Structure formats: C-alpha cells, structure tokens
Amino acid sequence: MTQSVVVQVGQCGNQVGCRFWDLALREHAAVNKKGIYDEALSSFFRNVDTRTGGDGPDIYKGKICSLKARALLIDMEEGVVNEILQGPLRDVFDSKQLITDVSGSGNNWAVGHKLYGYQYRENIVEKLRRTAEHCDCLQCFFIIHSMGGGTGSGLGTFVLNLLEDEFPEVYRFVTSVYPSGEDDVITSPYNSVLAMKELNEHADCVLPIENESLFDIVNKINQMISSGKLGSTVKQNSLVTSSAASAKTLQEKPFDAMNNIVANLLLNLTSSARFEGSLNMDLNEISMNLVPFPRLHYLVSSLTPLYTLADVNVPSRRLDQMFSDAFSRDHQLIRADPKHSLYLACALLVRGNVQVSDLRRNIERLKPSLHFVSWNQEGWKTGLCSVPPVGHSHSLLALANNTCVKPTFTELKDRFMKLYKKKAHLHHYLQIDGMEQSCFSEAVSSLSDLIEEYNELDATKGGPRTDPSRLKIAV
C-alpha cells in the first residue's frame, strides 16, 4: 500500500485542506469500525504513540492511538493555520508540519515564489524529507492551492518545483482553484499565468477548479432542499457539501460547503488506491491513462451524485442517471461543457454497489453523444471500488482530459494581456529580486503554446478519419 502527502499552501489551500482532513477522518471512521490502524488509513495518516509526550514512534499495526495527517501546512500569514490549530482538527497536525510567516504575500506571485521561496527553501525541504521518511512507500504529493493570490500561487508553485527536484519519482497532483472573471484581486491574472507556466512544466496532473462552479453546485443543492421537490428528506451526511460534524451544531464558515466539494473530489480520487475493489485504479494509472502528451495534463472533474435521499429503495434508473449527470455541464467543477468539446481521454471511478455490467451499459449508452479524438475512440479508463462514500450506496467521479478547458485558459490569457499591455502593477513584481520582464513573456508564451495544442486537437474534431496505413508483411 502506498502513502500520499498533502501540501496545502496559502489561505485557500489550507481551508480546502482542512475540509479534506475532516472528511477523510469521517470516511475512515465509517469504514473502520474496529479502530484498527490498517493500510487504508496509513495512506493519509500516521499512527503515533503520544503517551510518551511529543513525537513518539510510529505504530504500524494494532489499535489506533493517535492519528496524524501526512501533511504540510504552509501559509505566509498566520490567521488560517492558527484557526485550524484551534479547531477540532488540532490533534491531527503537529507543530513540525507547519511553516508560517506573518505578513502574507500581498497577492503577489513574485513575493510568494521568489522571496519566500528563497527564504524558506531549506525549511520546506527539511520538513518534506521528514514527512517522506515516515512513509513506507510514498507515491504521490497532493498540492492544494489557489492560482489568483500570492502565497498559494507563488509559494505553492515553488514547492511544486522543489518536489520535482527532491522527489522526482513521486507523482505530483495539483488541485488548483482558478480565479473567476469578477475576482476582487486585481492582479489575479498575473499570478495565475505565472503559476500556469509552473504547472505546465512541473505537475503530473492538474485538477482545475473554478469557484463559480462550486458556487452553482451549492446553490443547486440548497434550492433542491428548500423547494421541497424531493419527496423524502435528504440524508444530511450524503451532501457533497456537508462537513463531518452535523451542520446544526457547528457554525459553518462561508466557504466550507464549496470546499467540501473539492475535499470529496480528492477522497474519491484516492478511494481505489485505499480500498479494495474488483477493478482497482491507482494514482499512477490515472496519470498513465489520462495524459497522452506531457503538457496536456489538465483534467476536468465531476462528482455525482450530489446527495442521496433517505429513501433506501434506489432503483437502477437512478444509477444510470448518475452516469448521465457526470457528463452534464452543471456537475463539472469548472465552467466547461465537455460534451460539446473533444475528449482525449476519460476516466470513470465508480464507488459502491456497481458492477462491471452497469459500467459497460452506461458507457455504451453515453458514447454516441461524446466526441473522442480519432486516435482514441475507445478512450475510457474505468475503476470499481467496493467502498462507497459516507451516506451513499454508490458514487461516480469522472475525470476528463478534454479540450473544454481551453476557454478557461484563453480567458485567463485575455485578462492577463489587458493588464500587461498597460504594464499595470508590473512594478510590484519587478522590484522583487529574481523577477524580470522575461518571466512574464515566457509565462504567457507557455500558456499560448498550451492553448495552441488544444486548438490543433480541436481542429481534428468531426473531420474525416483517415487511419494511417498498416505495416505490410511480405507473404
């Protein structure tokens, strides 16, 4: 069994991360009734003997003593991390996993990447090494951050670089929250494009998320509940937006519902690696199957169902509905419509009481309405995990490598160019040691190249298919 380490950087990264650990504990508590520290738990948690006070040795078998998250919490302000350490998750982290500073990055990628990166490099490497040493077989780093700010974006991508240098064999999955058009951070386009270059070059897989999509999903759920359209009551803990504790007892913070969705994404992504199933799908398989060319590693994700009804009788039609929903525009976690763009590859990770025949039936059903690239007409990767998420009997995570990410990138580039042409706010960046104008031009060039790659693929869509001629053998 392998382990993964979560590196949460910046305010957004840490808030999402916090939700992740909360829900991970809930999920394992639901499955692991006997309180034994098993392999599934060890993928994200260490079992530490705290009776000796402080950092006791890891306990690899037997009863759970004290669970510690395999995580690194990084923020250049103290507020968010302090809140986590005072909240219900305080025992899951120890002080040696934190790197904080006081003044923040001022929404400046250069401050995060060049200034703090340089300053904290040793510290970060040391802490990463320690976390890696506690792992028997470290498979993957999950970075959670936002693109629009200074710390998550700048320092986050600095850490990404670092991971590639120090741990080249370990996969790097990045969950990036992209800024919306109405973002109140004026320099978010700069920060995002500068960060994109790093993601292009150093990440194995990127899962882009847009706040607008999360917001729409949250609204949709709230509307459904309050409209009373659902005959019976919704199972509270099945909401993709719910936190571990009952919503009534805890005052939920504003972004919690949205962040829970992202946390669920990560849980579902790793479920087949943690739990058993008839067709396992490990993280290295995701990277292998969904990334046909090194730079095209942006995966659009969708989660279904968003909730389950308390009514236990779930007919098979509901199951098929789950598959249909996964391809609908309003279940995607970015503003995109994969159905009308070109698929390079698609992965379906099913959890719970679903068998291979259900999977096949739905693939056959949905295939005709989807456009796949000519050299990958049957580009499906499937996984079946027996353990469903909390509150559900089954669920589906769909990951698509699809050209529908292109608009997100072109809009980002446009917003960037608007500022860049006027050289607005540029001096804030250029005054940082190590930043030059070329950083900007290289970054936007990298983004343009990426967009161009997607354009070329889109151009092949719907065109006549001429298969290359096969090798001829002399008879």
Partner 1 sequence: MSIVTVQLGQCGNQVGHEVFSCLCRDLCGTHGLCSSRENQSYQDACRERFFWEEESGGSVARAVLVDMEPKVISQTLSMAARSGFWKYSDHSHFCQKQGSGNNWANGYSVHGPRHKEAIMNLVQKEAERCDRLGGFFTLMSMAGGTGSGLGAFVTQCLRDAFPTSFILNHIVWPYGTGEVIVQNYNSVLTLSHLYRSSDALLVHENDVIHKICAQLMNIKQISFRDVNQVIAHQLGSVFQPTHPAGGDSDYSRNPLGDLMEVLVPHPEFKLLALRNIPQMPENSLAYSTFSWPGLLKHLRQMLIANAKMEEGIDWQVRPPPPGSSIPSHSTKKPLHFNTSIANLLILRGKDVHSTDLGSFQDPSLYTSWLNPQDAFHAWKTPRAFNKYEKSASLVSNSQFLLKPLDSVVGKAWNMFASKAYIHQYMKFGIEEEDFLDSFTTLEQVISSYTTL
Q: How far is the CB of 463 from partner 1 (least distance, A)?
A: 14
Specify the amino acid at residue 231.
G
Strand (E) or helix (H) holding 420? helix 406-421
Residue 356 binds to partner 1 (criterion: CB under 8 A): yes
Residue 365 binds to partner 1 (criterion: CB under 8 A): no
Cβ-based nearer residue to partner 1, 177 or 290: 290
Cβ(277)–Cβ(383) below 8 Å? yes
Encoded tokens for 138: 């470290």
Rg (CA), the chain: 22
Strand (E) or helix (H) holding 349? strand 342-352
Residue 459 binds to partner 1 (criterion: CB under 8 A): no
Cβ-based nearer residue to partner 1, 109 or 142: 142
Cβ-based nearer residue to partner 1, 102 or 473: 473
Q: How far is the CB of 316 from partner 1 (least distance, A)?
A: 8
Q: CA nearest 68: which of 80, 83, 52, 56?
A: 56
Provide the pairing of β-strand 205-210 with 300-304: unpaired
Cβ(195)–Cβ(172) below 8 Å? no
Residue 3, beta-bridge partner list: 138
Q: How far is the CB of 284 from partner 1 (least distance, A)?
A: 3
> CA 171, CA 155: separation in Å to the nearest integer?
19
Q: Which residue's entry shows tokens 């959670």? A: 144
Q: How far is the CB of 349 from partner 1 (least distance, A)?
A: 13
Of 293, 434, 442, 449, the one binding partner 1 (CB under 8 A) is 293
Using DSSP's 3-state secondary structure scheme, residue 2 falls into coil
Residue 258 binds to partner 1 (criterion: CB under 8 A): no
Cβ-based nearer residue to partner 1, 222 or 377: 377
Of 29, 39, 58, 88, the one binding partner 1 (CB under 8 A) is 39
Residues in the chain, how many? 475
Among the residue ranges 147-155, 212-220, 377-385, 431-439, the one whose residues contact partner 1 (CB under 8 A):
377-385
Q: CA nearest 384: which of 465, 280, 294?
A: 280
Contacts of 410 (CB under 8 A, 6+ apart): 451
CA distances from 442 to 108, 116, 158, 194, 248 (A): 18, 21, 16, 9, 50
Of 375, 436, 441, 452, the one binding partner 1 (CB under 8 A) is 375
Residue 384 binds to partner 1 (criterion: CB under 8 A): yes
Cβ-based nearer residue to partner 1, 379 or 391: 379
Residue 137 DSSP symbol: S
Residue 458 binds to partner 1 (criterion: CB under 8 A): no
Q: How far is the CB of 292 from partner 1 (least distance, A)?
A: 4
Cβ-based nearer residue to partner 1, 106 or 292: 292
Of 104, 152, 379, 389, the one binding partner 1 (CB under 8 A) is 379
Residue 467 binds to partner 1 (criterion: CB under 8 A): yes
Among the residue ranges 99-107, 223-231, 426-434, 467-475, the one whose residues contact partner 1 (CB under 8 A):
467-475
Q: How many residues bind partner 1 (CB under 8 A)?
A: 48
Residue 43 binds to partner 1 (criterion: CB under 8 A): no
Cβ-based nearer residue to partner 1, 231 or 368: 368
Cβ-based nearer residue to partner 1, 165 or 467: 467
Using DSSP's 3-state secondary structure scheme, residue 178 falls into strand
Residue 431 binds to partner 1 (criterion: CB under 8 A): no
Of 56, 88, 106, 292, the one binding partner 1 (CB under 8 A) is 292
> CA 300, CA 461: separation in Å to the nearest integer?
19
Of 196, 345, 370, 396, the one binding partner 1 (CB under 8 A) is 345
Residue 393 binds to partner 1 (criterion: CB under 8 A): no
Residue 364 binds to partner 1 (criterion: CB under 8 A): yes
Encoded tokens for 67: 């669970």
Chain positions 91 to 150 lying near partner 1, rule: CB under 8 A, are 136-137, 139
Residue 284 binds to partner 1 (criterion: CB under 8 A): yes
Residue 177, beta-bridge partner list: 146, 209
Q: Rounded to the nearest 10 degrees, how much is the dihedral formed by the CA atoms of 74, 214, 366, 349? A: 30
Residue 32 binds to partner 1 (criterion: CB under 8 A): no
Burial 438-470 (b: 16+ CB within 10 A, else e): ebbeebbebbeebbeebeebbeeeeeeeeeeee
Encoded tokens for 33: 């009734």
Residue 155 DSSP symbol: I
Q: How far is the CB of 443 from partner 1 (least distance, A)?
A: 23
Residue 168 binds to partner 1 (criterion: CB under 8 A): no
- Chain positions contacting partner 1, by CB under 8 A: 1-2, 39, 136-137, 139, 276, 278-280, 282, 284-285, 287-294, 344-345, 355-358, 360, 363-364, 367, 374-382, 384, 467-468, 470-473, 475
